Chains A and B, each alone.
Chain A
Amino acid sequence: NAGVTQTPKFQVLKTGQSMTLQCAQDMNHEYMSWYRQDPGMGLRLIHYSVGAGITDQGEVPNGYNVSRSTTEDFPLRLLSAAPSQTSVYFCASRRTRERSNEQFFGPGTRLTVL
């Protein structure tokens, strides 16, 4: 199993540009989520999905969209990038929505918005 994969690893955008961060998992996990990591703030939940076709907002959803058309993929879209979205983005998955399940993390995407 490849686990949770994310592309790209690094990205530089100009303010106002849009882009999609890709996330895929091959473990048939129902639950997937996106976090952003900023210095001194830990990881904050952006959006999550409890299954194909079902998404919901986390703590910091503004400026981001998600969709879940398949179990495997959970892309994160930045509609109009802003410097405040400079961050490291992590995708994660777990088998079900049960709290006890281990959450597996991808390697991250480092995004810089100029």
Chain B
Amino acid sequence: AQSVTQPDIHITVSEGASLELRCNYSYGATPYLFWYVQSPGQGLQLLLKYFSGDTLVQGIKGFEAEFKRSQSSFNLRKPSVHWSDAAEYFCAVGVTGGGNKLTFGTGTQLKVEL
């Protein structure tokens, strides 16, 4: 069965510092991978997605993610974090079957220190 692991529950970075959020997936077929962000009290917003092609994908708000098949990873990065990036981040894999649902990781809570 498919699964997504986000090993870091909480991460704290200083404003202006670089950020990397880790995501590892387990899925037997070609993965469709997503990163979503959830601000407090809000729904989820798509940051970026990977289906095929270039393994480095660019998203909104200056985020990017790199797909590494050999490591089953899809880590999210940002060169310089802003205070407004404080939120919870979810990695997800789109699977076939079951209505082609999304399977989510447990999320990483990002805190930004000024």
Where the two chains meet, the residues of A that have a C-beta atom closer than 8 Å to any C-beta of B are 4, 31, 33, 35, 40-45, 48-50, 56, 58, 90, 92, 97-100, 102-103, 105-108
Does A50 contact B43, Cβ atoms closer than 8 Å? no
Main secondary structure of the interface of A (DSSP, over half): strand
- Chain A residues with Cβ under 8 A from B36's Cβ? 105
Q: Give how many B residues have a beta carbon under 8 Å from the other chain's beta carbons.
A: 26
Where the two chains meet, the residues of B that have a C-beta atom closer than 8 Å to any C-beta of A are 4, 9, 32, 34, 36, 41-46, 49, 51, 90, 94-96, 98-102, 104-107
Does A100 contact B90, Cβ atoms closer than 8 Å? no
Q: Which of A42, A45, A107 contacts B42 (CB 8 A)?
A: A107
What number of residue pairs across chains A and B have CB atoms under 8 A from each other? Answer: 65
- Chain A residues with Cβ under 8 A from B100's Cβ? 31, 97-99
Does A102 contact B43, Cβ atoms closer than 8 Å? no
Q: List 20 A-B contacts (CB under 8 A).
A: A31-B99, A33-B101, A40-B106, A42-B4, A42-B90, A42-B107, A43-B44, A43-B90, A45-B98, A45-B102, A50-B99, A58-B99, A58-B101, A90-B44, A99-B100, A100-B51, A106-B43, A107-B41, A107-B43, A108-B42
